[in-house]
Amino acid sequence: MNLRAIVNSATQSVNPNVSAQIYKSAGNTTADDGSMTPSYAEPVTMDVQKQAVSQRDLQHIDNLNLEGIFASVHTNGNWCGLNRKKDEGGDIFVIGDDTWLVVAVPENWPNWTRVVLCLQTT
């Protein structure tokens, strides 16, 4: 059962979903000089529920010593912040003209995820 889909039908009346292109990290490419460049799979376009971060998320972000503009996003699928063991992370969300980096994954369920994003400068 996709609980997010059930709840999302109710929350859309207050906060409509927005379209996002999501770029799943495909690891890094290492150049001859040792510099690393991130690479990404082709983007997936889907509607997401973008919200303000909660006080608990802000405390977590503060403990990670992160600064910036943050948002919380509920979405179908599983997206990653940093997972060194699985060599995953650094997924990118493009919402409108803004690029957001996944910095935390407070909720990860079999068919949906809630991620905390940080606005990136381009």
Domains annotated on the chain, with CATH: 3-7+17-120 (2.40.10)
CA quadruple 13, 68, 75, 107: dihedral sign? negative
Query: What is residue 17's three-state secondary structure?
Result: coil
Task: Look at residue 50 and tell me whether its pLDDT is greater than 80.
Answer: yes
CA–CA distance, 105 with 72 (Å, rounded to integer): 10
Q: How many residues comprise the chain? A: 122
CA–CA distance, 116 with 34 (Å, rounded to integer): 30
pTM for this model (two decimals)? 0.84
Q: Which amino acid is at 13?
A: S
Task: Look at residue 99 and tell me whether its pLDDT is greater than 70.
Answer: yes
The predicted pLDDT at position 117 comes to 94
Report which secondary-structure segment, H or E, holds 108: strand 98-108
Comparing 41 with 80, the larger pLDDT belongs to 41
Q: What single DSSP character describes residue 88?
A: B
CA–CA distance, 50 with 72 (Å, rounded to integer): 6
